[in-house]
């Protein structure tokens, strides 16, 4: 009986905590309306940011075909059906986009500023109905994209019939040669961009931190990585050096060691994990320096602003001060800033002399 009384006394003390104040109660009609407004604004924001990236990349892809190992024909549009739309905006389902008025049809998601499609008067949101006279009204959206791609690669001007504001009209567009590189936007908040074999991935976090001129500089740097085949070269070097076998072990062991040092509050210079990676990637820092150099030439050839050449490195230094004195996989920030200034001086001398703006190759 005594235990039962003690339990009765303790139970109230173990109850769930409750709010102290009463927040306004929102009915479902108001909540749904607010959700729709937020979703509509979010979609518009995502499309505008993606369009900003495409527009800044387009001049680089046009101006540097001489430096890119692979090129393709393009009219400067990004096409999307409802499924692709969900990937572009992120987080919303196809039924949610449909409720916002996004139709499940092949339409133009973006037109690159200054592209042949832009000059032909195409705009975001118009629907493609026919390609070179062939109707696609009842076809799957993917077939329209393939038809346009094939027509563009054939080289002749492409005839499109588009529907805009419930009215059909025809346009004829001549494609231009561009670097065969896809530009994609990642939702990651990390201050980073990366190059893959034929793709540039730009993080949303980095776009939020820098202005258009610096975004274009970073795009030029990553385009240089792709044009110089650095991803492939690094992969080959990792295999040839045997790093493919021991780097994962060194990285894992270094990561554990880094955690142990932090746990015991032992300070040391740099990361053991990154040092392990650097041992298995011969010429990794040299490739990075090469991309810095060639990227600035690509930026200049596209008419970009060379005055921002060092800005991105200052951002990295401010966010990660250790890069000013220690770096395993990339050149140190002070070296990159100084090298960028020298490269800009070299480029401007060529511009003043009226000679071709091409990077100097090693003997």
Q: Which residue blocks in the chain are alpha helix, DSSP H?
A: 2-10, 28-63, 82-89, 94-99, 116-119, 141-153, 204-209, 212-227, 230-240, 243-263, 272-279, 284-301, 311-319, 333-353
User: How far apart are alpha carbons 199 and 226 in whole angstroms?
Assistant: 7
SS3 234: helix
Domains and CATH numbers, the chain: 72-175 (2.30.42.10), 209-353 (no CATH)
DSSP 253-310: HHHHHHHHHHHTT---SS-HHHHHHHHTSTTHHHHHHHHHHHHHHHHHHTT--GGGTT
Do 79 and 145 meet the contact criterion of CB atoms below 8 Å apart?
A: yes
Q: Name the one residue in this structure whose structure tokens are 């062939």.
A: 134
Q: Which residue blocks in 64-140 are alpha helix, DSSP H?
A: 82-89, 94-99, 116-119
- Give which of 164, 159, 75, 155 is closest to 112, Cα–Cα: 75
Q: Name the one residue in this structure whose structure tokens are 């790093």.
A: 243
pLDDT of 19 reads: 82
SS3 77: strand
Bridge partners, residue 78, by sequence: 110
SS3 42: helix
User: How far apart are alpha carbons 335 and 314 in whole angstroms?
Assistant: 12
pLDDT of 326 reads: 47
- Give which of 205, 176, 180, 181 is closest to 191, Cα–Cα: 205
pLDDT of 329 reads: 55
pLDDT of 331 reads: 73
pLDDT of 118 reads: 94
pLDDT of 10 reads: 64
Per-residue pLDDT of the chain (363 residues; tens, 9 = 90+): 565 566 556 656 566 778 889 888 878 887 888 888 998 898 889 889 999 999 999 999 999 999 999 999 999 998 887 777 788 777 788 888 888 887 777 778 899 999 999 999 898 888 888 898 888 766 566 778 888 888 888 888 999 988 887 788 899 999 999 999 999 999 889 888 999 989 999 999 999 999 999 999 999 999 999 999 998 888 777 777 665 555 565 556 656 666 776 676 766 555 655 555 555 566 678 888 999 999 999 999 999 999 999 898 888 888 877 665 545 456 777 888 999 999 999 999 999 999 999 999 876
Tokens of 37: 């407004």
User: How far apart are alpha carbons 179 and 63 in whole angstroms?
Assistant: 9
pLDDT of 224 reads: 97
């Amino acid at each position: 009986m005594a235990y039962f009384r003690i339990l009765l006394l303790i139970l109230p003390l173990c109850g769930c905590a409750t709010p102290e104040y009463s927040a306004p109660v929102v009915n479902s009609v108001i909540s749904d309306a607010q959700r729709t407004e937020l979703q509509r604004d979010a979609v518009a924001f995502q499309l505008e940011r993606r369009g900003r990236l495409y527009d800044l990349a387009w001049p680089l892809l046009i101006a540097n075909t001489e430096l890119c190992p692979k090129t393709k024909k393009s009219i400067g549009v990004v096409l999307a059906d409802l499924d692709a739309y969900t990937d572009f905006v992120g987080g919303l389902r196809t039924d949610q986009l449909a409720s916002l008025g996004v139709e499940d049809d092949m339409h133009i998601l973006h037109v690159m500023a200054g592209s042949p499609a832009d000059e032909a008067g195409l705009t975001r949101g118009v629907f493609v109905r026919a390609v070179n006279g062939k109707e696609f009204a009842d076809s799957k959206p993917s077939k329209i994209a393939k038809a346009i791609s094939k027509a563009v690669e054939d080289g002749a001007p492409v005839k499109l019939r588009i529907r805009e504001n419930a009215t059909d009209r025809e346009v004829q567009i001549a494609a231009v040669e561009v670097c065969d590189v896809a530009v994609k936007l990642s939702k990651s908040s990390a201050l980073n961009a990366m190059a893959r074999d034929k793709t540039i991935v730009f993080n949303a976090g980095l776009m939020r931190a820098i202005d258009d001129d610096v975004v274009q500089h970073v795009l030029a740097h990553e385009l240089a990585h792709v044009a110089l085949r650095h991803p492939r070269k690094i992969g080959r070097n990792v295999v040839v050096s045997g790093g493919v076998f021991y780097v994962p072990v060194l990285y894992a062991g270094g990561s554990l060691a880094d955690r142990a040092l932090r746990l015991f509050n032992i300070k040391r210079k740099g990361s053991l994990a990154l040092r392990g990676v650097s041992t298995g990637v011969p010429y990794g820092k040299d490739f990075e320096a090469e991309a810095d150099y060639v990227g600035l030439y690509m930026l200049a050839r596209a008419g970009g602003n060379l005055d921002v050449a060092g800005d991105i490195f200052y951002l990295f230094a401010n966010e990660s001060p250790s890069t000013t004195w220690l770096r395993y996989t990339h050149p140190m920030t002070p070296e990159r800033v100084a090298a960028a200034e020298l490269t800009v001086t070299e480029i401007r001398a060529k511009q003043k002399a009226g000679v071709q703006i091409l990077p100097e190759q090693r003997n």
